[in-house]
Structure 1
Amino acid sequence: MAWTELRELNSTLQAQTGGEWVIENTRGAHALAVGLQAPLEVTIKGSTGYYCAGMNKEARVHVTGSVGPGVAENMISGSVVVEGDASQYAGATGHGGLLVIKGNASSRCGISMKGIDIVVHGNIGHMSAFMAQSGNLVVLGDAGDALGDSLYEARLFVRGKVKSLGADCIEKEMRPEHIEILRDLLARAGADARPEEFRRYGSARKLYNFNVDHAGDY
């Protein structure tokens, strides 16, 4: 197939109501398959630049390579699966849907997440889940510095080591309902792990309202 300009490609996909699509020879292009609004099946063969599958709604996007910054940014629903690694702020501000990264994710994974579910088979970098409001971040590997800094009600599950916790983030009890949530997410993400192997982290809820006694934590 001849090379198709990015704007034309995205416009064509955005106009579809369904079907299966394959994108080849990506050349690391930025903003591939953004703004999809229907239950399409999209396979991207190769690696991409920044903001791949951003603002996704209903579509299922599968990337066979790695992705640049901001994959699945502001996703509403559907799913995005990345076979390789992801750069910074994967799943940022996501409102829903499932993002699966089978490699590692860099810094700020899940920043300001608002309901999205993110499963990372490898490790995540520093400041991940910063100001995360809701949703679930699952990490089969290790987490970097300042995990969950200033988060709200998002749930963070980590199987490996956490280098440090951010402001107002603490380890919490893993109750039966969390085991079931995690079991479902691991199954949907094709992750070979048991929920009992994970620890849960969440908000200590001390920073919801300004308190001069906690001024040093802001």
Structure 2
Amino acid sequence: METLTDTTVEYDLSQHTVRELNAELHAPTAKNYKVLKPMGVHSVAVGINDDINVEIDGDVGYFCAGMHKTGKVTVNGMAGPGVAENMMSGVVHVKGHASQSAAATAHGGLLVVDGNASTRCGISLKGGDIVVKGNIGAMSAFMAQAGRIVVCGDAGEALGDSIFEARLYVRGSVASLGADCVAKEMREEHREELVQLLKDAGMEDEANDAAYVDSFTRYGSARTLYHFNSGESE
């Protein structure tokens, strides 16, 4: 472990184990961490429970930033399956592409993917937010119960299959909709919500472009598969 400044600590994963890194992040001694040479290893920066910033220089394997509770994790590369799985709050930012099941079961927080996200993005989403600047794969938002997903590109087959009350915003084409998922009216409240999500994802210019915002279509539940008694408006 090499201290760069009073508040930044560097971990080289060719010299240290993931267990050592995660133990430090679970009882942090610094505000900022820089992780070098992750080399696709699994479970990097999982279970963070403090307001710290972790920057990972390279590609990561399965479950990076899983069970994330607070702070921010930035991946300067690709992320394997299950990035930000079961996230509770905070921010996870993948600057490359994300593999399948990104932000699966996330209860809160924000996942931003600068590239594409593979199949089952946001599966069983329970309240988190996801902004994908590229495309998403098949079966994304499967059984998504709450939360929002913004897709600035295209969506694959069976989008939103068996969806509950999550809200989906897609700018590009949708290969097909899953069971009980339908296009819905984009009211002003939804435009405002979309604008804020784009801003949260660092897309300030796009958020301030009315034509860009209006090019999205909102999708959600037709409410025919289940008995709804939430009292919430569509």
TM-score class, shorter:
over 0.9
**DSSP 3-state at the match of 1:52:** coil
Deviation at 1:190, TM superposition (A): 1.7
> Out of 27, 30, 37, which is 1:15 matched to?
27
Q: C-alpha separation between the residues in 2 aligned to 1:50 and 1:181?
A: 31
Deviation at 1:142, TM superposition (A): 0.1
Amino acid at match of 2:194: L
> Out of 84, 87, 101, which is 2:96 matched to?
84
1:169–1:201 contact (8 Å) kept in structure 2: yes
Aligned pairs, number: 209
**DSSP 3-state at the match of 1:99:** strand
Q: For residues 124 and 35 of structure 1, do their structure 2 counterparts lie closer, same or farther at Cα, with a shift above 3 Å needed? A: same
1:17–1:40 contact (8 Å) kept in structure 2: no
1:18–1:39 contact (8 Å) kept in structure 2: no
1:91–1:118 contact (8 Å) kept in structure 2: yes
Runs of 4 or more consecutive aligned structure 1 residues displaced over 3 Å after TM superposition:
none
* TM-score (ref. length: structure 2): 0.87
Deviation at 1:6, TM superposition (A): 0.9
Alignment of 1:200 onto 2:229: no
Deviation at 1:98, TM superposition (A): 0.4
The residue that corresponds to 2:201 in the other structure is 189
Deviation at 1:188, TM superposition (A): 1.1
1:18–1:41 contact (8 Å) kept in structure 2: no
Alignment of 1:29 onto 2:47: no
Deviation at 1:197, TM superposition (A): 1.4
**DSSP 3-state at the match of 1:9:** helix
Q: Deviations over 1:47-102 (max 9, x none)?
A: 00010000001120000000000000000000000000000000000000000000
Q: C-alpha separation between the residues in 2 aligned to 1:69 and 1:34?
A: 14
> Out of 68, 78, 83, which is 1:66 matched to?
78
The residue that corresponds to 1:179 in the other structure is 191
Alignment of 1:47 onto 2:72: no
Q: C-alpha separation between the residues in 2 aligned to 1:46 and 1:71?
A: 14
Aligned pairs for 1:56-205 (under 5 A) are 56-191=68-203, 192-193=205-206, 194-205=212-223
1:17–1:39 contact (8 Å) kept in structure 2: no
Q: C-alpha separation between the residues in 2 aligned to 1:91 and 1:17?
A: 27
Q: C-alpha separation between the residues in 2 aligned to 1:47 and 1:14?
A: 22
Q: C-alpha separation between the residues in 1 aligned to 2:24 and 2:53?
A: 14
Deviation at 1:163, TM superposition (A): 0.3
1:104–1:120 contact (8 Å) kept in structure 2: yes
Q: C-alpha separation between the residues in 2 aligned to 1:18 and 1:166?
A: 46
Amino acid at match of 2:220: G
Q: For residues 17 and 170 of structure 1, do their structure 2 counterparts lie closer, same or farther at Cα, with a shift above 3 Å needed? A: farther
- Gapped regions of structure 1 (runs ≥ 5): 210-218
Deviation at 1:18, TM superposition (A): 5.7
